[in-house]
Amino acid sequence: MKFRLRLWLIGTFVLLCGSCTKTPDLSGGSSDHENVLEAYVVNQTNLPVHSSTVRLVNNSHWAQLQEDHSSFVDSSYATDKYGTVYLDSTECLKSNFDMDVKGQMANFRCSDIEDFGQVRLERYGVLYGVTLPHQTIAIYGSLIHTQSDDNGTWMLRVPPGVRGLVVYSADHWRAIGSVTVAASDSVEFVIPKNGSRMMIENFEDEENVTLLHFWNGGGNWWTAFDSIGTEAEHIEPDAATSDLMNARVYVDSLDSYVLHVGLYPNDSAQIPKAMLGFNLGQPAATKDTSLIYKDFSAVDSIHLDMSGSGTIYVQLICQAEGQDYRAVFEYPVDLNEKNWTSYSLAVDDFKKLEGSLLDNESSWNDVKTRCKSIAFYAKDSTDLWVDNIELEGIRLRDIE
């Protein structure tokens, strides 16, 4: 069984659909649960090429979103040129929609914090994506927050016929897992708010669910991506996704070494550097430190393709035993714009970043068993495209 895992910045979900022939019921109506969020993305033949229909249900509110982000069925929604929708609801104050150029993607973000752009991930950051076989089924899914306290759970109910489901948890930038659901099955995901692993009800193939953790390190990185993941075409970033500050990581299979990443930084005088990476273990907020750090001893080199301009520092971020500060080993790569080049970076050639260790006498041998992430770092506004990352000597399943 082959799995693909797509990672997005927490707080956004992406639903992918081609020419869907089944049309969902877009009539209004109330829900029997005040925290139910439902969304549909349909690119029908009778709609313009660059538009899709989106239904948002929250306390009986719904809207139809067009390409220009300005046409909504319900005039009670206030919108601006960025497609921001303000909902009259105490459960979900604000949402953010964006569409890609082909009308096949809708992004949704919900927040219970007043300041725009901030997302309270521990309550409303759960997201999911669905890939449809043969582009013949309409998309459907609902997210239910069963309780309002910190012990509540998120439950995702998916009807029969939905395949290739990827579920993301709100806590700690976590991708919960990826499964394939048979056409005749229905599956429920119960996601613990305390963050460990996903529990799968009515689904037997739990051992094949993987975890891969993505984080944004504070820079203004833009995203470029393809909609398939197996080829990872090197396309230009779409302006519609430029403000999301995220990246997409495609995993061909659990036994594969290959990740596909597309990155593009935004020039910002306020943020003079940019960094982006992915965690090898669970995030630092996890109490069990054995889950945070991974043994990188078996990794001899990192193979990857890069394109861009300027100097990029590929970094291995670890932590020495008993130290509170991170240990950074990095390798500088000079890139020529639009010139794709394959690199093989031997781990032994990575140099310790001066001042990154409290104990400056520590070496790679002292920290290689406690590595927690791989990062791409730029000191200036530097374009970076990364593809086909391979960790020589370790499988994705080994860093689960």
The three-point CA angle 78-81-84 to 5° equals 45
Give pLDDT tens digits for 288-346: 666 667 788 888 888 877 777 788 888 888 877 766 667 888 899 988 876 778 899 99
What total number of domains does the chain contain? 2
Which of 153, 175, 209 finishes a domain? 209
**How much is the mean pLDDT over the chain?**
45
For the segment 177-201, the average pLDDT, to the nearest whole number, is 35
Which of 192, 209, 226 finishes a domain? 209
**Based on the domain organization, do 187 and 316 belong to the same domain?**
no
- Pick the more confident residue, 329 or 92: 329
Structural domain span for residue 1: 1-209
Q: How far apart are CA 26 and CA 53, in angstroms?
A: 9
pLDDT of residue 235: 30
pLDDT of residue 122: 21
Query: What is the DSSP-derived secondary structure letter of residue 209?
Result: -
**Based on the domain organization, do 203 and 241 belong to the same domain?**
no
**Based on the domain organization, do 281 and 193 belong to the same domain?**
no
Model confidence at 279, in pLDDT bands (50, 70, 90)? low
For the segment 42-71, the average pLDDT, to the nearest whole number, is 27
**Based on the domain organization, do 158 and 283 belong to the same domain?**
no
**Based on the domain organization, do 308 and 224 belong to the same domain?**
yes
**Based on the domain organization, do 129 and 196 belong to the same domain?**
yes
**Based on the domain organization, do 124 and 166 belong to the same domain?**
yes
Q: How far apart are CA 382 and CA 267, in angstroms?
A: 8
**Based on the domain organization, do 233 and 351 belong to the same domain?**
yes
Q: What Å distances lie between residue 315 and 174, 272, 279, 370, CA to CA?
A: 21, 18, 12, 14
Helix (H) or strand (E) holding 264: strand 263-265
pLDDT of residue 75: 27
**Based on the domain organization, do 74 and 218 belong to the same domain?**
no
pLDDT of residue 148: 32
| CATH number of the structural domain spanning residue 262 | 2.60.120
**Based on the domain organization, do 376 and 271 belong to the same domain?**
yes
**Based on the domain organization, do 199 and 233 belong to the same domain?**
no
Q: How far apart are CA 7 and CA 214, in angstroms?
A: 7
Model confidence at 161, in pLDDT bands (50, 70, 90)? very low
Q: What Å distances lie between residue 234 and 136, 219, 244, 253, 266, CA to CA?
A: 27, 21, 19, 20, 18
For the segment 255-260, the average pLDDT, to the nearest whole number, is 43
Helix (H) or strand (E) holding 304: strand 301-308
For the segment 49-66, the average pLDDT, to the nearest whole number, is 28
Which of 175, 191, 209 finishes a domain? 209
**Based on the domain organization, do 122 and 245 belong to the same domain?**
no
For the segment 273-299, the average pLDDT, to the nearest whole number, is 63
- Pick the more confident residue, 237 or 378: 378
